[in-house]
Amino acid sequence: MAQTYANEVSGLYAVPATKPSGNVVGGRVRRFRATFSLAGQASGDTIVLAKIPAGHSFAYGVINGSATFGASATVAIGNATTAGKYRAAATFTAAAPTLFGDSAAVSGNASTDEETVILTVGTAALPSSGTGVVDLYFSAP
């Protein structure tokens, strides 16, 4: 039977052997929590969620809230240049912890610069009351 190696560990079995990136194998996972009040933020408004140091790799995120963000309000999570870098614009109607993570963002590549992560309100305003919580999980050596 054929044996295939995951990209992250293939170097361990090469000659000469190479070590995998500490960002994705054996790295420490760090949580960056952002809690904010829902206050009718309008379409186009942004909420700063976290400042991520250089050298971190995005793993996944969890969005939660005391209430849904409404049936028509969309939110994207990313940065100033790519609003949906970590979560494409979508509604949040579960009022329960919901995982997110754009496949390109979870590539394992470490950031070279510090990054400010923002939530961008999309098609409609957020509710006028309640609490939103976004947990961002990154790994680093």
Condensed to tens digits (0 to 9), the pLDDT of residues 23-59 reads: 778 889 999 999 999 999 999 999 999 999 999 999 9
What letter would DSSP give residue 4? -
Predicted TM-score of the model (pTM): 0.89
Query: For residues 131 and 12, what is the distance between their CA atoms, to the nearest angstrom?
Result: 46
Query: For residues 35 and 9, what is the distance between their CA atoms, to the nearest angstrom?
Result: 36
Condensed to tens digits (0 to 9), the pLDDT of residues 63-98 reads: 999 988 988 899 999 999 999 999 999 999 988 999
Query: For residues 130 and 134, what is the distance between their CA atoms, to the nearest angstrom?
Result: 14
Sheet holding 74-78, edge to edge: 46-52, 115-121, 74-78, 87-91
For residue 23, the model assigns a pLDDT of 76
